[in-house]
Amino acid sequence: MRWSLTPVLLIGVLLAPRSGAQSDHTSLVVRKFESTYRSSRTLRATFLEKYFDGGKLVRSDAGVACFSKPGKMRWEYQSPETNLYIVDGKWSWFYVPADHTVTKVAAKQSSDFRTPFALLAGEAKLSKLCSGLERERLATPTHAGGVVLRCNFRDVDRPSSQTGQAARAHEPYALFEVDAATGELFRVVAYDPGGVQVEFEFSGWQFNPRLDKSLFQFQPQKGIAIVDGNLPDAGKPALSGTRP
């Protein structure tokens, strides 16, 4: 997976050194999270997605997200507009009924903020998504029992001249808030250098619910225009999956 996005530059902020006990606790939280999601073939949860630009809330959307192994997802937006984002294991489809269009992108080439959530429908190994995981003490948990982890994404595009701390400052990252006791995912916040921030908050997780295979398939109906998102000049899916 390649990310064309870069994170908000946190000027002058350095993470404090971690003690052995703190690192052990972080490892326990990660293992709990991975164990919780690896053991289920299907998942379902309600979500609230917030899109910020320059620190200002631009849009808020709510709906239901479903996951099925291997690597399939369905994000059904219900409010304020009906939209649909599906990853069928090979392609990602973003359908906007109001526009009668669907954008089709190879799942492995997608830079959409929702793409990494496919790990919930796979081995659930954060190490495959993140080059490093550490406790983020600068972020305050929003849920009781929550622990915030910083994930620096792997396979990112970066200038070859940048190394060390300078390179890290320009790499995409996300913050994961996980329930330390149950391993359930509370929240994910992803960052972009232009001041864009997308936050996903989850609740009501269901493990191994009965989900029909058709939920993870997209069959364009007559009259729907298909946009090839892999073409350089084609329109890309909106950053947050909705139109801000």
Give the CATH class of 20-228.
Answer: mainly beta
Tell me what percent of the residues of the chain surpass a pLDDT of 70: 77
> CA-to-CA distance for 146 and 122, rounded, in angstroms?
23
73-87, 147-161, 229-243 — most confident range: 73-87
Radius of gyration of the chain from its Cα atoms, rounded to whole angstroms: 18
Average pLDDT rounded to a whole number, residues 157-168: 48
> CA-to-CA distance for 130 and 174, rounded, in angstroms?
9
Instruction: Give residue limits of the domains in the chain.
Output: 20-228
Name every residue whose Cβ is closer than 8 Å to that of residue 156 and which is 6 or more positions away in sequence: 2, 3, 6, 171, 172
Please say if the pLDDT value at position 61 is more than 60.
yes
Half-sphere exposure of 68 (CA within 13 A, CB side): 17
Residue type, 191: Y
pTM metric for this prediction:
0.78
Evaluate whether 74 touches 65 at the Cβ level (below 8 Å).
yes
Q: What is the pLDDT of residues 204-218, one digit of tens each?
A: 999 999 999 999 999
